[in-house]
Amino acid sequence: MLKDPGREIYDVIRYFGGLGKIFNVHFRNIRGGFLNFQETFIDDGDVDMLRALRVYRDVGYDGMLMPDHVPRIPGDAGGQQAFAYSFGYIKALIAASDAES
């Protein structure tokens, strides 16, 4: 619900994370902004997901990061391939973040 999520989301994570008010994250990416957006694969939207993960880490978030909505892939019954891709990408981001610290 941000006008420019690719620029604004990091401060939102810092604010609520700093208050200890983040309990569960639907980790997804989009293109666009408030009331005019398209869900994308996790690596294909406006948000730098590694940067977002670093902010979650820096505010001490230790809960779940899970895919939310993923684009449909023709022939992917139930979205299993799309979710598997998203889970793998999230695991890779976590590994990259862990390697930095």
Query: Per residue in 29-77, pLDDT tens?
Result: 999 989 999 999 999 999 999 999 999 999 999 999 999 888 888 999 8
- Kindly state the percentage of the chain with pLDDT values over 70: 100
Nearest to 28 by CA among 64, 67, 61, 54: 67
> Is the pLDDT confidence value at 79 over 90?
no
Q: Residue 43 and residue 49: Cα distance in Å, rounded?
A: 7
Q: How many domains does the chain have?
A: 1
Where in the sequence is the domain holding 68, given as residue range(s)?
5-100
Q: What mean pLDDT is predicted for residues 2-16?
A: 95
* pTM score, whole prediction: 0.90
